[in-house]
């Protein structure tokens, strides 16, 4: 008999898979989006991983940036870009995302980018190049001003990779997939950027929790929930003193 209970050991397995450059499945909350995302550490993205996300998940491929890093490098929330240009383009102000039914924040969407060595930017190979090179720069050892110059030198915007910025105080002010998956990266000890993609169904809706869990069993992928991640995150913060 199939069960809807998520095994507790899946979180430990998920962290091991992340360190090994593998995909894990993350469900948020029953009272939020009620969606499952495929996620992988952005530093391990390949064109093959993106092909699988595109075929087996089917949602929007996005790459997360820790809020403090985004702020340091001048990578804004897209809603702020729109809001700050509302005098010139009044419609942008009118379209402010202040009525998201599952979220009290302004959404985590940042700018979109392509690496300058890509062609159209949308192919799996192009997006893999954009994501991996982006991560190399933002988590490199160079001073912030040099990283900013390199981002301008090697990337153009808009593009086909959607960046997502986490909110400050990770998982305190927002508990979306952006924050949940980034928290997993911190706990796994990899570069704290996740590439994520929602799992959609063939009936025009998102995959149910049950269908996503069935996929995880058939494909040997750990399935973890927002509750599991949030609980582990609190312990991680206390034990490590991490401040993000």
Give pLDDT tens digits for 181-220.
Answer: 999 999 999 999 999 999 999 888 899 999 999 999 999 9
Active-site residue flag, 37? yes
- The torsion angles phi and psi of 215, rounded to 5 degrees, stand at -60, -40
Residue located via tokens 């940042």: 110
Domain range annotation of the chain: 10-240
What pLDDT, on a 0 to 100 scale, did the predictor assign at position 243? 86
Higher pLDDT residue, 9 or 243?
243
Give the active site residue among 43, 71, 154, 160: 160
Give the active site residue among 30, 84, 85, 102: 102
Give the active site residue among 10, 181, 198, 207: 198
Give the active site residue among 35, 37, 133, 179: 37
Q: Output the pTM of the full model.
A: 0.93
Task: Please state the rounded mean pLDDT for residues 29-37.
Answer: 86
Give pLDDT tens digits for 116-159.
Answer: 999 999 999 999 999 999 999 999 999 999 999 999 999 999 99
CA–CA distance from 193 to each of 53, 78, 135, 180 (Å)?
17, 18, 7, 11
Q: Is the pLDDT of residue 5 over 60?
A: no
In degrees, rounded to 5, the angle at the alpha carbon of residue 220 between the alpha carbons of residues 216 and 226 is 45
Active-site residue flag, 114? yes
Q: Is the pLDDT of residue 3 over 60?
A: no
Q: Is the pLDDT of residue 9 over 70?
A: no
Give the active site residue among 10, 33, 35, 114: 114
Active-site residue flag, 160? yes
When pLDDT is cut at 50, 70 and 90, the band that residue 8 belongs to is low
In degrees, rounded to 5, the angle at the alpha carbon of residue 228 between the alpha carbons of residues 225 and 230 is 105
Could you tell me the sign of the dihedral formed by the alpha carbons of 8, 13, 19, 24, in that order?
A: negative
CA–CA distance from 3 to each of 28, 94, 209 (Å)?
18, 45, 11
Give the active site residue among 10, 17, 28, 62: 62
State how far the Cα of 191 lies from the Cα of 139, in Å rounded to an integer.
7
Give pLDDT tens digits for 50-85.
Answer: 999 999 999 999 999 999 999 999 999 999 999 999
What pLDDT, on a 0 to 100 scale, did the predictor assign at position 106? 73
pLDDT mean across residues, the chain = 93
Question: What is 14-43 written as a DSSP string?
Answer: HHHHHHTT--EEEE--TTTT--EEEEEEGG
Task: Please state the rounded mean pLDDT for residues 222-231.
Answer: 95
CB 16 within 8 A of CB 190: no
Domain 10-240: CATH superfamily, name plus number: DHBP synthase (3.90.870.10)
Q: Is the pLDDT of residue 166 over 80?
A: yes
In degrees, rounded to 5, the angle at the alpha carbon of residue 139 between the alpha carbons of residues 111 and 197 is 50
What pLDDT, on a 0 to 100 scale, did the predictor assign at position 99? 84
Active-site residue flag, 198? yes
Task: Please state the rounded mean pLDDT for residues 106-112.
Answer: 91
């Amino acid at each position: 008999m199939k069960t809807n209970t998520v095994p507790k050991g899946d979180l430990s397995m998920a962290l091991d898979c992340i360190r090994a450059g593998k995909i894990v499945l993350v469900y948020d909350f029953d009272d939020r989006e009620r969606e499952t995302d495929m996620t992988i550490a952005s530093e391990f993205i390949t064109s093959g991983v993106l092909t699988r996300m595109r075929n087996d998940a089917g949602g929007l491929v996005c790459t997360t940036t820790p809020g403090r890093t985004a702020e340091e490098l001048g990578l804004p929330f897209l809603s702020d870009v729109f809001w700050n240009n509302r005098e010139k383009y009044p419609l942008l102000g009118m379209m402010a995302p202040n009525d998201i039914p599952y979220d009290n924040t302004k959404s985590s969407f940042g700018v979109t980018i392509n690496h300058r060595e890509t062609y159209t930017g949308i192919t799996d190979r192009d997006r893999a190049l954009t994501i991996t090179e982006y991560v190399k720069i933002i988590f490199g050892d160079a001073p912030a001003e040099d990283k900013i110059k390199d981002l301008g030198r090697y990337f153009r915007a808009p593009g086909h990779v959607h960046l997502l910025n986490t909110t400050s105080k990770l998982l305190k002010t927002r508990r979306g997939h952006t924050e949940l998956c980034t928290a997993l990266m911190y706990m796994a000890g990899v570069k704290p950027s996740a590439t994520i993609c929602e799992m959609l169904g063939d009936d025009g809706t998102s995959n149910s929790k049950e269908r996503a869990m069935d996929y995880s069993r058939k494909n040997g992928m750990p399935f973890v929930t927002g509750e599991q991640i949030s609980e582990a995150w609190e312990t991680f913060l206390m034990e490590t003193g991490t401040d993000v």
